[in-house]
A and B are shown apart, each in its own frame.
Chain A
Amino acid sequence: MFKSILKVEAQSRLNYFKALSTGKIILYLFLVMILLAMVVPAVWMVVNLFLMNAEEMMIGKALVLLSLFLIAILALFLVNGIIKEMFMDKNIDSYLVLPVTPKAVFSVKLFYQFTLKVLPVVLFIGIAAGLTLAVRYGAPALVLSSAVYFLFVGAVSIAVAYAIVFAVTKVSSARRVGEVLTLAGGVAGVLPYFIIVAGGQYLLPVIEMMPNADVIFAGFLYNPSTVKYILLLVVFAAVSAALIWLVLNYVTDAFVKGTANTRMVERKKTVAAETGSPVRALLNKDFTMTKRDFKEWSAVLPQYLFPFVFLYLLTSNPLIYGGESSSDDQVMMSIAFAGSIMISLFVAAMNTARDARTYAFLKMMPVSGMDIAKAKYLYNFITITPMYILITIIIYFILDVPVTTLIYAAVVSVLLVLTVAPLGMLLGTMNPVVSKKNPALRLDTAANVIISVTIFALIFLMGYLTQFTIGFNGEEYYLKHGTMLMVIGVLIVLSILSYVILLRKTGARYDEGYNITYKD
């Protein structure tokens, strides 16, 4: 029974990889290569250098930090998979109707979760740490104790992950938890940059803050003493097995008795009958969908981090910044131009392409394409502008610029949103993509290429124009008010033209119908 389910699960995983497109296979291979060529040696090196040279008291503290870090990362990683696989896919239900015991089904699930998602990580860290300590203390047995200890960390991660899953699905639906985790994943995309930029310098103080774990670790993971070593080896192995056994029994019991599926049904109090204009109704619909869909946030929020990437690039590279031809005013204006173009183009395209999911429904309704386009335009303006003004204000506090520059930057950003968003909307109706598994995938390759090329062209053009807005009086840089007012005037005209021409074209696309690619 166990073997047949194990085989089916293995086959289904194999089929998943067989069905991948060539593009995805290349991408995955590329990621594996990066992992093997860079991440694995880097982690090995850090663990090796630290454990070989650190004071003995610091080894215990570092192992505590490493364990906590692993539990947090592995548990979060597992939670997402558990939610999708065991609550949303209905995969469990299809197994449970077959003549198999529930325990056999969950044993297989747990086996794959542990062997595919936990074991490679904990075993690698365990061996890396164990080998280093074995060399340092001249005791090969430390490889075994380290491996057993990190397997215990893996078992704790599984237990914590299931505890989180059962706790959060009691207060919110599995679907909502999945959405929040997708958002967390989207935002976590910037973590590597943060760790690279700021991680190293804060690592040592954080390790020092950890509790001293010599009582447990000394004699077992380093500086071995025979009795403690054997005792703790048995204890950690037994506790790991007991944890897995407990998790298996609890999960089986929860699903069989149905307690795992007794989730909260979200219910709103107000059921008042309200009517308004079609544009207002469409606008409200978009706001409500955004407010309640964290996947939506994960699709657009990372775009808003780009101005800060620009700021980092402009202020950290001496070739771009720091010479005589640059000033904070210029940096501020460059970010206002480049950031607002990039964000409004991408976010407006993504927001518009989102309608592909409900396009068949909209088509049945007596609403004109122009009304849909107008509502979307307002939605884009209302959501993008405050975010960008907030970003501009944050950058104002980081840079040393007068308030006039802040006002100019804000005005220019608002006008650029009004000018560029209709172009983004038009591109969003170019063969949009609907993918239930990956909601951030909304634009096809052609639209992505067009948007990227347009962004580079516009940023290049705006960057070129920015230099005419800054003057140098021999002592300091200053903003040329006359030129700025002229730029603002041109942008006002462009925003009107954009509304009249591009928005109508978008409305016509809604009326005529457009092609939609359904990915899954």
Chain B
Amino acid sequence: MITASNLTKNYGAKAAVKNINLSIKKGELFAYLGPNGSGKSTTIKMLMGLLEPTDGTVEILGEPMRLNNTELKRKISFVPDTPDIIGKLTGNEYLNFVASIYKMDKQVYKEKRDELVSMFELGGDLGTLVEEYSHGMRQKLVVIGALMHSPKVIFLDEPNVGLDPKSNRELKNYLTEYVKQGNTVFLTTHTLSLAEEIADRICIIYKGEIKALGTLQELREQAGSGRTLEDIFLALTDGEDVHVQEYTES
């Protein structure tokens, strides 16, 4: 579903992402973790085609990812880390806009919109201008816009920032069910418990390089018994000695 080969991004002399190789399968919920500035957002933007890699290739659903490949983009979705959406539209106008761009059938759109809006409890605010929304409400709106056309692959860059506990729980359950239906989720988050709870595989990136990759069980086994994901994460990103195989995928 998602394949990245030798993905590299340099900003001048500084390497933001170094030679990353990933292969994420259909029906997998993949958590991509790392401290601030480790290269998570850069990777996700390159995977989405929003940022041109210095080197390497990206394939999604078997096709090379390019900015002008609109047919492929119609099958995927992205929730950015900052929900910068057009403030002068109401929540409903924003969703209508997204549905039109994704060429959704009106009836299907209405049903999906109503389901998601009710799930995130945004119904009463759909007529309000987005610029009046709080950060959490914007985040909910962007998530609804990203999910309602039922993409086969969805990229979420820290989607739970600003979400209230109930919405967080709903999103977690929705994503778990979503991957069971054969869809793929690529998720970055700082909430390690979320990754622990729902991810099929976890990748830890630090200073642009993959430090560990595997299932939670595999990471724990390699790190030694009794170690939590937080212990492993902090050890890998603090330079502490930890017995986790640093790179497990070619």
Interface residues of A (CB under 8 A from B): 173, 175, 265-278, 280-282, 284-285, 288-289, 292-293, 358, 360-361, 363-369, 511-513
Interface residues of B (CB under 8 A from A): 48, 50, 52, 67-68, 70-74, 78, 80, 84-86, 88-90, 92-93, 95-106, 109-110, 113-114, 126-129, 131-132
CA distance A277 to B97 in the complex (A): 10
Decide: B86 and A358 in contact? CB cutoff 8 A: yes
18 residue pairs bridging A and B, Cβ less than 8 Å apart: A267-B127, A268-B128, A270-B127, A273-B92, A273-B99, A274-B96, A275-B96, A278-B101, A282-B101, A284-B97, A288-B89, A288-B93, A293-B88, A360-B84, A364-B73, A364-B80, A366-B101, A367-B70
Other-chain residue from A266, A277, A363 in contact with B128 (beta carbon distance below 8 A): A266
Q: Kindly list the 4 A-B residue pairs having the minimum CB-CB distance in the complex, ordered from nearest.
A: A281-B100, A366-B73, A273-B110, A366-B74
Decide: B100 and A278 in contact? CB cutoff 8 A: yes
Q: Which residues of B contact A272 (CB under 8 A)?
A: 92
Q: Which residue of A lies closest to B126 (CB)?
A: A271
Q: Which residues of A contact B99 (CB under 8 A)?
A: 273, 275
Tell me how many residue pairs across A and B have CB atoms closer than 8 Å.
107
Q: Which residues of A contact B89 (CB under 8 A)?
A: 285, 288-289
Decide: A365 and B101 in contact? CB cutoff 8 A: yes
Q: Which residues of B contact A270 (CB under 8 A)?
A: 92, 127
Decide: B103 and A265 in contact? CB cutoff 8 A: no
Q: Which residue of A lies closest to B151 (CB)?
A: A366
Decide: A289 and B78 in contact? CB cutoff 8 A: no
Given A274-B100, A289-B86, A365-B102, 17 new contacts (CB under 8 A):
A267-B90, A267-B127, A269-B127, A273-B96, A273-B99, A275-B99, A275-B100, A275-B104, A277-B100, A281-B101, A285-B89, A285-B93, A292-B129, A293-B88, A358-B86, A364-B80, A511-B68
Q: Which residues of A contact B67 (CB under 8 A)?
A: 363, 511-513
Q: Which residues of B contact A173 (CB under 8 A)?
A: 132
Also in contact, A278 and B110, with CB within 8 A (given A266-B128, A271-B126): no
Q: Which residues of A contact B78 (CB under 8 A)?
A: 364
- Pick the most buried of B50, B80, B90: most chain A CB atoms within 10 A of its CB: B90
Q: Which residues of A contact B88 (CB under 8 A)?
A: 288-289, 292-293
Also in contact, A268 and B92, with CB within 8 A (given A358-B86, A366-B70): yes
Q: Which residues of B contact A367 (CB under 8 A)?
A: 70, 101
Also in contact, A276 and B92, with CB within 8 A (given A266-B128, A361-B86): no
Q: Which residues of B contact A281 (CB under 8 A)?
A: 96-97, 100-101
Q: Which residue of B lies closest to A365 (CB)?
A: B101
Q: Which residue of A lies closest to B155 (CB)?
A: A364
Q: Which residues of B contact A289 (CB under 8 A)?
A: 86, 88-89
- Pick the most buried of A278, A365, A513: most chain B CB atoms within 10 A of its CB: A365
Q: Which residues of A contact B106 (CB under 8 A)?
A: 273-275
CA distance A358 to B83 in the complex (A): 11
CA distance A501 to B102 in the complex (A): 27
Q: Which residues of B contact A275 (CB under 8 A)?
A: 96, 99-100, 103-106, 109
Report A348 CB to chain B, min CB distance, Å.
20
Q: Which residues of A contact B129 (CB under 8 A)?
A: 266, 292
